[in-house]
């Protein structure tokens, strides 16, 4: 964690509190503001709850709006990791980066496009996996069917960072550049992600307290991975060692 911000965990904590508050407002308060009382009534057999069609629709719309509002905050938390990776301090004001730079709508559009493409590839993979499993009577194809969605999600992992460095480009261009940047590198990033499992187990052991520190560290590592793909570590100041993460936690 050589260049991780000492306040990084505070920023992650505030981010989680903000997104949790937005979800609460979207799911509970906004329906009431618009005059929709979402009452949970037990079903006749006492095992579930019943909402009217209008209540369900209003609650869904408000929850979706709240989720969309949370996307620019997620975009900003990634930018905060990039700022810290490049030697900046990454203060709390970074949480509003997307709004200050006029990238809120672009971040939402980019996130929706990534979600759409990932969903479509997931459907294709599941259909092919189902057909293969059905005709071969081998359930292993159900697991294999997840590979297209995972691979596609890794193709777009650098799109947010690319948009941050090039705010004038379109969402499509950010996706295109990310696909090009990740060509031949998906496996490396996947292994890097897997290496965080023990870190998150630490978060479970500490009843979630370590998650704030681990997430702050992870954001910095991801940002430095993007920088390594971009070629920012090609100079003599790029320090490397045998550690899994040290290659991506360096001081430029």
pLDDT digits (tens, 9 = 90+) for 216-251: 889 999 999 999 999 887 644 444 433 445 555 544
Q: Can you name the residues that pair with 41 across neighbouring β-strands?
A: 50
* Alpha carbon distance 237, 221 (integer Å): 17
pLDDT band at 72 (very low <50, low <70, confident <90, very high): very high
Cα distance between residue 4 and residue 12, in whole Å = 12
**Rounded Cα–Cα distance for residues 34 and 28 (Å):** 11
Residue 74 burial by Cβ neighbours in a 10 Å radius (0-12, 13-18, 19+): middle
Q: Write down the pLDDT at residue 229.
A: 93
> What distance in Å separates the CA atoms of residue 91 and residue 83, rounded to the nearest whole number?
9
For residue 243, what pLDDT is reported?
44
Give the chain's mean pLDDT.
78
Residues 6+ away with beta carbon under 8 Å from 130:
141, 142, 145
Residue 42, SS3 per DSSP: strand
Q: If pLDDT is split at 50, 70 and 90, which confidence band does 43 have?
A: very low
The predicted pLDDT at position 239 comes to 42
C-alpha triplet 90, 94, 97: angle, nearest 5°: 145
Reported in sequence order, the residue ranges of 144-239 that DSSP labels E, i.e. its strands, are: none
**pLDDT for the residue numbered 140:** 77
Q: In terms of pTM, does the model score above 0.85? A: no
Cα–Cα distance for residue pair 72/98, rounded to 1 Å: 6
């Amino acid at each position: 964690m050589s260049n991780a911000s000492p306040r990084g965990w505070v920023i992650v904590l505030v981010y989680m509190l903000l997104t949790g508050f937005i979800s609460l407002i979207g799911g509970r308060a906004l329906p009431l503001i618009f005059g929709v009382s979402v009452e949970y009534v037990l079903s006749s057999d006492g095992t579930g709850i019943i909402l009217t069609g209008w209540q369900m629709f209003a609650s869904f719309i408000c929850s979706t709006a709240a989720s969309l509002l949370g996307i620019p905050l997620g975009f900003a938390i990634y930018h905060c990791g990039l700022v810290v990776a490049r030697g900046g301090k990454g203060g709390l004001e970074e949480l509003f980066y997307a709004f200050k730079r006029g990238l809120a709508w672009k971040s939402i559009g980019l996130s929706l496009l990534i979600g759409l493409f990932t969903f479509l590839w997931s459907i294709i993979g599941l259909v092919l996996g189902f057909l293969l499993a059905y005709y071969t009577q081998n359930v292993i194809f159900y697991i294999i069917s997840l590979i297209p969605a995972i691979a596609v999600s890794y193709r777009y992992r650098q799109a947010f960072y690319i948009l941050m460095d090039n705010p004038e480009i379109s969402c499509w261009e950010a996706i295109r550049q990310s696909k090009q940047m990740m060509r031949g590198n998906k496996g490396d990033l996947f292994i890097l992600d897997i290496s965080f499992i023990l870190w998150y187990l630490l978060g479970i052991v500490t009843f979630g307290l370590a998650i704030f520190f681990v997430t702050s560290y992870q954001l910095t590592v991801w940002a430095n991975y993007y920088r390594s793909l971009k070629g920012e570590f090609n100079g003599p100041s790029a320090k490397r060692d045998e550690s899994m993460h040290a290659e991506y936690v360096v001081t430029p």
